[in-house]
Structure 1
Amino acid sequence: MWRLHAHNKLLYWGLLPTLTFLFLAALGPGLFETSATTVTSWQFAVFDVLCHQDPFRSFSISGIQMAVCARCLGIYAALLMGWILLPVYAYLEKGKSKIEKGWLIAAILLNLADVLGNYFGLWTNTLISRFILGALLGLPLAFILVHEFFTINNSE
């Protein structure tokens, strides 16, 4: 019988509200207000250093631009979802493989190829494609930490 053993519980549960706040803040002022000056909102100030916040590359809520671009939103959404699913992932993985770094490298290369392909006019990426590629980057970021918080023991 496989048993999930959690360690660093305080850190795991402490980061959950932080990641939730980060995701909700990334949604921008449209989530909280019906009219806002996006440039001066606190959400834009939080992500100013991390994201280019290009209005043409960002989703909107209630007609108001989100605080991050579609790719960054995908990263934050998948990071939060991955964090929530970390115990399930640890149980399903059962410590057999440590391929998360490979997933992360592949996701970085996919995002780099997308950015370069768009830059050189080989294709035009969309908000949805940017979001999906960002999510493919955010998920391994969470899963790469699985061994810091969970181990699986075979208690036969």
Structure 2
Amino acid sequence: MRNTVADDRSGVYNSVYARGEMRKRSYRVLVFCLAIAFIWLAAIVSPPVLASLGSHPAAAGVFSFFGWMCHQIPERSFHFAGEQLGVCSRCFGVYFGLLVGFAVYPLWRNIENIEPLPRLWLFASIVPLGIDFALTFFGIWENTHFSRFVTGLILGAACATYI
């Protein structure tokens, strides 16, 4: 009989300990994701900052790094201090959305909740971006920096909640 009580107590202890460890690990992952998203955004904004400080070779190097993942069309990109950011406005929205999503996630949902969210919401977050793209592609309307940024932001924030 004593062994049963001891086993029950150690099981409860292990369960509480495991939950505490899971909480710590979850917050570490969240802080890591926030840090990476912040550093990534800082890198995206750095070409105009570096250029304004006179470091044009460094600005060109960072800008060319982002060229492999974004078209970088000047007319579709935000500019700061007369220089283009490292990515277009839609990509900037996606990356900014990731940062916002990581920051807001613990306020929206318990970080210990490991139940997967319905995939429908992830696919639904693509719809505004698809509509914005399609309307421009078919010549119905010309999207703007704002519409590209916002549709990217929606997708990025949604993606952050699934990571």
TM-score normalised per structure 2: 0.73
* Unmatched segments (≥5 aa) in structure 1: 146-156
Contact 2:51 2:59 in 1 (8 A): no
Quick one: distance in 1 between partners of 2:83 and 2:55? 7
Corresponding position of 2:33: 15
Q: CA deviation at 1:102?
A: 2.2
Contact 1:57 1:127 in 2 (8 A): yes
User: Within the alignment, does 1:73 sit opposite 2:68 as a pair?
Assistant: no
Q: CA deviation at 1:72?
A: 0.5
Contact 1:54 1:69 in 2 (8 A): yes
**Aligned with 1:89 (options 86, 108, 115):** 108
TM-score normalised per structure 1: 0.76
Corresponding position of 1:150: none
Query: Aligned AA for 1:91?
Result: N
* Unmatched segments (≥5 aa) in structure 2: 1-19
Quick one: distance in 2 between partners of 1:142 and 1:44? 25
Q: CA deviation at 1:144?
A: 1.4
Q: List structure 1 runs of 4+ shifted beyond 4 angstroms.
A: 35-40, 94-97
Aligned length: 141
Which is richer in helix?
Answer: 2
**Aligned with 1:49 (options 48, 54, 68):** 68
Quick one: distance in 2 between partners of 1:75 and 1:91? 23
Which is richer in strand?
Answer: 1
Identical aligned residues as a percent? 29
Mark the structure with the bigger radius of gyration.
2
Give the superposed CA RMSD: 2.8
Query: Aligned AA for 1:98?
Result: L
Contact 2:95 2:156 in 1 (8 A): yes
Corresponding position of 1:153: none
Quick one: distance in 1 between partners of 2:90 and 2:102? 18
Greater length-normalized contact order (CA 8 Å, ≥ 6 residues apart): 1
User: Within the alignment, does 1:123 sit opposite 2:141 as a pair?
Assistant: yes
Corresponding position of 1:113: 131
